[in-house]
Amino acid sequence: MPTPRVTLLDVARRAGVSRTTASFVMAGRTDMRISAEAEHRVLHAARELNYRPNLMARSLRTKLTRTIGLVSDTIASEAFAGELIRGSFSTALLHQHLLFVGETEGDDTVETQLVQDMLDRGVDGFVYASMYTRPARPPAILRGHRFVLLNCVAEDQRLPAVLPDERGAGRAAAGLLLDAGHRDRIFLVGETPDGVYAARERRAGVEEALARAGGALAGTVECLWWPEPAYEAVREFFGDGARASALICLNDRIAFGVYQAAAEAGLTVPDDVSVVSFDDSHLASWLRPALTSVAIPHFELGRTAVELLLADVPAHDVHPVPMPVRERGSVAPPRPARASGHAGADIHSG
């Protein structure tokens, strides 16, 4: 059962050449002259013997393993962490590389140990990822090795990094509403602490787009980014008699809570209120009506990071990845304003 390994020497012998020649042929190197005749014999022998080079032996010499490490603070999350891994893996595979994964749980000691373990196994480079966009400086042990930051904003902007274009996403979300005819009474739902990159940028994007159209946010319903708090906050909002033309929820979980609060207030989405959101989790397509959401391009993020890592020339800047809009059924033109002087004004100001 334990088939004796076919080595390069076996191939060489069968082809009637030296190990050296066989090696050069297998490596496809042209800097050494080898006759078409000999090359063919080697290739043929390799095929016949079903030769597979021993990568460990090769690595010992070359210091290259065609292997990369994905070290992340969190592997699992309710979002599609899997998509990120998938994007990384499939891109690695495309380049004939394999992918180690590892989680640090944010512990620096574990992190250093993990990177060391991967280094011991000769990984050619690292994707240093955070599941949620946050500021982070790569650990010291990474110095001198090739790596790409994923979903982290480093102080040093010249470090290679890949980030979702949250600001663009904010603009896109607002744009969706603007295009549908909304202008006033657009509210943001969800708190936006300065330290949270996604929150800050999404909000900035929204404000930017609104301002560009001569409008502005009508206000913010502050709440944590979870269904329950959002539900509570928006119920109160509606209870106070507030009227909204559209709600921009900072993520889908918030939108979920918003849907419930709206239903309870007797409001129909999207006829009475339009709702747009961020993340495009599965929830978005399960909601009724299905939720229009700006997606986090997990797959693309992974893909881009690995692409950058494996590129011939190392990157030295941050690469924003566009966040695609998934239009569904939660946006409609605003209800025509009821007998009020504002309607006319709105039309003229457009």
Partner DNA sequence: CGCTCGTGCTGAATCGGATTAGCTGAGACT
Partner DNA sequence: AGTCTCAGCTAATCCGATTCAGCACGAGCG
| φ, ψ at 271 (rounded to 5°) | -60, -40
Q: Is 228 in the site for a second copy (CB under 8 A)?
A: yes
Write down how long the chain is. Answer: 350
Q: Is 93 in the site for a second copy (CB under 8 A)?
A: yes
Residue from 2, 3, 50, 61 touching DNA (CB under 7 A): that is 61
CB 57, min distance to DNA, A: 3
CB 27, min distance to DNA, A: 5
Q: Is 60 in the site for a second copy (CB under 8 A)?
A: yes
- End-to-end Cα distance, the chain: 78
Q: Which residues of 249-279 are buried (b: 16+ CB within 10 A; e: fewer)?
A: bbbbbbbbbbbbbbeeeebebbebbbbbbbb
CB-neighbour burial class of residue 77 (10 A; exposed 0-12, middle 13-18, buried 19+): middle
Nearer to a second copy among residue 96 and residue 340 (C-beta): 96
Q: Is 116 in the site for DNA (CB under 7 A)?
A: no
Nearer to a second copy among residue 3 and residue 30 (C-beta): 3
CB 82, min distance to a second copy, A: 3
Residue from 12, 22, 45, 81 touching a second copy (CB under 8 A): that is 81
Q: Is 26 in the site for DNA (CB under 7 A)?
A: yes
Q: Is 62 in the site for DNA (CB under 7 A)?
A: yes
* Residues 18 and 41: beta-carbon distance below 8 Å: no
- How many helices (H) does the chain have, and how many strands (E)? 13, 12
From residue 186, alpha-carbon distances to 153, 218, 277, 319 in Å are 30, 5, 13, 31
Q: Is 23 in the site for DNA (CB under 7 A)?
A: yes
DSSP 53-105: --HHHHHHHHS--SEEEEEES-S--SS-HHHHHHHHHHHHHHTT-EEEEEE-T
**Residue 132, both tokens:** 């949620």
Residue from 7, 77, 113, 220 touching DNA (CB under 7 A): that is 7
Q: Is 229 in the site for a second copy (CB under 8 A)?
A: no
Q: Which residues are at the interface with DNA (CB under 7 A)?
A: 5-9, 16-21, 23-24, 26-27, 32-35, 37-38, 51-54, 57-58, 60-62
Q: Which residues are at the interface with a second copy (CB under 8 A)?
A: 1-3, 52-57, 59-60, 65, 67, 75-78, 80-83, 85-86, 89-90, 93, 98-103, 114, 116-122, 144, 226-228, 231, 253, 256, 260, 282-283, 286, 288
